[in-house]
Amino acid sequence: LPEVAFLGRSNVGKSSLINAFLGQKRLARVSSTPGFTKAINFYRVDHKFWVVDLPGFGFAKVSPKMRAQWKKLIETYLSSPRLIKLLVLIFDIRREPDELDFMLIDYVKGLGRNFIIVLNKTDRAKKTELPKLKKRYLDKLSLEEEKVFLCSCKTKEGLEPIKQKIWENIG
Ligand code: GDP
User: What spacing in Å lies between the alpha carbon of 167 and ligand 1's midpoint?
Assistant: 22
Amino acid 145: pLDDT: 97
74-110 confidence digits (pLDDT tens): 899 999 998 999 999 999 999 999 988 998 899 999 9
The secondary structure of residue 97, as a DSSP letter, is P
Q: Where are the domains of the chain?
A: 3-170
CATH topology for 3-170?
Answer: Rossmann fold (3.40.50)
Protein residues with CB under 6 Å of any ligand 1 atom = 8, 10-16, 56, 120-121, 123-124, 152-154
Which ligand 1 atom minimizes the distance to the CA of 19? 7
> Is the CB of residue 147 less than 8 Å from the CB of residue 137?
no
Amino acid 153: pLDDT: 96
Phi, psi of 32 (to 5 degrees): -115, 110
The structure's pTM equals 0.92
